[in-house]
């Protein structure tokens, strides 16, 4: 594998993009299609509305998702992944496969407790 300077490394840039708390889970949930704020909030147990709002806004600014507002009463807002966001889904699936194969939760807990 070729190493690149840290400031131009695409691996580091991708990690910076997706490693914010809750970010991967938001992308994972939107991989199934568009979703409303309340649906995301329900599926992401423990996330505060403020944090979810900040994550959605940041992902929108990065071009990972799109926010659509429908002119209804009350207003309806839906979020969906862009092509750039959908391109992250295989990466997340690879992380899931790696975790299932190599990171046994019981072993990790025991190793963490031993340190």
Alpha-carbon gap, residue 49 to 3, rounded angstroms? 39
Residue 69's φ and ψ, nearest 5 degrees, are -110, 130
The residue-averaged pLDDT of 62-67 equals 97
pLDDT recorded at residue 110: 54
Q: Which domains does the chain have, with CATH numbers?
A: 10-87 (1.10.10.10)
Instruction: Compute the mean pLDDT over every residue in the chain, rounded to the nearest whole number.
Output: 89
pLDDT recorded at residue 109: 56
Residues 6+ apart with CB under 8 A from 27: 18, 59, 64, 65, 81, 85, 88, 89, 92
pLDDT recorded at residue 7: 74
| Helix ranges restricted to H, 1-115 | 10-18, 23-30, 37-43, 49-61, 83-86, 89-102, 105-114
pLDDT recorded at residue 104: 75
pLDDT recorded at residue 2: 67
């Amino acid at each position: 594998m070729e190493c690149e300077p840290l400031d131009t490394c695409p691996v580091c840039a991708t990690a910076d993009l997706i490693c914010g708390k809750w970010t991967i889970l938001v992308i994972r949930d939107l991989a199934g299609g568009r979703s409303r704020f309340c649906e995301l909030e329900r599926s992401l147990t423990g996330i505060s509305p403020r944090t979810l709002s900040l994550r959605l806004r940041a992902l929108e600014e990065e071009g990972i998702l799109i926010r659509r507002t429908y002119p209804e009463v009350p207003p309806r807002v839906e979020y969906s992944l862009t092509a750039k966001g959908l391109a992250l889904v295989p990466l997340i699936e690879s992380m899931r496969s790696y975790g299932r194969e190599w990171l046994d939760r019981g072993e990790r807990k025991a190793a963490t407790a031993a340190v």
